[in-house]
């Protein structure tokens, strides 16, 4: 195997959102509520949670959006675009308008 081929195989592909968007890794679906009730697989939940993996430069530089990488957020998946990037991850490009809350720890 040539040196050039080795370098090509070691390159990492990344996803960078553009415009007013963030890249979110969706949390695993919960199949049991805190009260112990099992939820069916077909249940539709209008908002879901996840962690921000990447923030577009436009959002990062806008003080109106206090979102940073690794923030846990609640978002509406209606306009989210799924990213076929890694088979075991659920990644979505989400418009900033669909991020409805950010979880913060009170100090």
Q: Where are the domains of the chain?
A: 15-29+40-103
Structure tokens at 9: 């195989």
The DSSP call for residue 107 is -
CA dihedral 30, 16, 76, 29 (to 10 degrees): -10
Are 24 and 73 within 8 A, CB to CB? yes
* CATH node for 15-29+40-103: 2.30.33.40
Burial 17-48 (b: 16+ CB within 10 A, else e): beeebbbbbbeeeeeeeeeeeeeeeeeeeeeb
What does pTM read for this prediction?
A: 0.72
Least confident of 18-27, 36-45, 51-60, 72-81: 36-45
Look-up: residue for tokens 């090509």?
8
CB atoms within 10 A of CB 55: 21
Instruction: Report the first-to-last Cα separation within the chain, whole angstroms.
Output: 54
Express each pLDDT in 63-102 by its tens digit. 999 999 999 999 998 999 998 866 666 799 999 999 999 9
């Amino acid at each position: 195997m040539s040196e050039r081929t080795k370098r090509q195989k070691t390159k990492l592909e990344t996803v960078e959102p553009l415009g007013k968007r963030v890249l979110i890794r969706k949390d695993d679906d919960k199949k049991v509520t805190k009260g112990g009730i099992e939820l069916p697989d077909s249940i539709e939940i209008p908002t879901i949670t996840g962690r921000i993996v990447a923030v577009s430069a436009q959002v990062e530089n806008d003080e109106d959006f206090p979102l940073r990488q690794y923030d846990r957020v609640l978002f509406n998946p209606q306009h989210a675009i799924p990213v076929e990037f890694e088979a075991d991850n659920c990644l979505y490009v989400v418009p900033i308008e669909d991020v409805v809350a950010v979880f913060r720890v009170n100090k």
